[in-house]
Amino acid sequence: MEGTHEGRYLLEIDGVTAVRASEVTMPGKDHTPVELYVGNQPNPILVRGNHKVDALTFKHATALNQTGEELFRWADHYMDGVDVGKRGARFIVLSEDGVSPVEEYELQECVPTSFKPETHSASGSNASMFTFGLRPTQMRRL
């Protein structure tokens, strides 16, 4: 693992590391301010409005343990309406040594947005990989 960017991204679900990935699409956090017009003032006064956090997508990901299998099951059950419970998560960026955390994000009230197995090849020697997406209600850098 040393000296490589593969597997530098971890996803913990409810406190247990579930997924390791080599590529992640980070979510944006967008705020739409409310515009208040006072009297005949030509420009609005901007105040706090609504915000949203986009989806976080893990590419070339592998499940690390039983929690990874539970992640797949949760995605299926959520999308089928069987289990619509939201999960807490933490996204961790590791340094190039693959051990030391350099960035951490807390993801609150996450829902799964996508799951796609990647192409399998008889000539490949890597573990089965997939792409997984989730969308949090709130994201904070720790």
Q: Whose CA is closest to 108, among 126, 134, 129, 127?
A: 134
Q: What is the pLDDT of residues 74-124, one digit of tens each?
A: 999 999 999 999 999 999 999 988 889 999 999 999 999 998 887 666 555
Confidence of residue 2 (pLDDT cuts 50, 70, 90): very low
Residue 54 CB contacts under 8 Å (≥ 6 apart), including other chains? 27, 28, 29, 30, 135
Identify whether the C-beta of residue 87 lies closer than 8 Å to the C-beta of residue 66. no
Percentage, residues of the chain above pLDDT 90:
63
Lowest-pLDDT range of 62-66, 112-116, 127-131, 134-138: 127-131
| Domain residue ranges of the chain, discontinuous segments joined by + | 9-25+52-141
Identify whether the C-beta of residue 2 lies closer than 8 Å to the C-beta of residue 47. no
Q: Whose CA is closest to 53, among 73, 85, 29?
A: 29
pLDDT computed for residue 7 by the predictor = 78
Average pLDDT along the chain: 88
CA distance 86 to 111: 5
Which strand (E) or helix (H) includes residue 113? strand 101-117
Confidence of residue 3 (pLDDT cuts 50, 70, 90): very low
Confidence of residue 137 (pLDDT cuts 50, 70, 90): very high
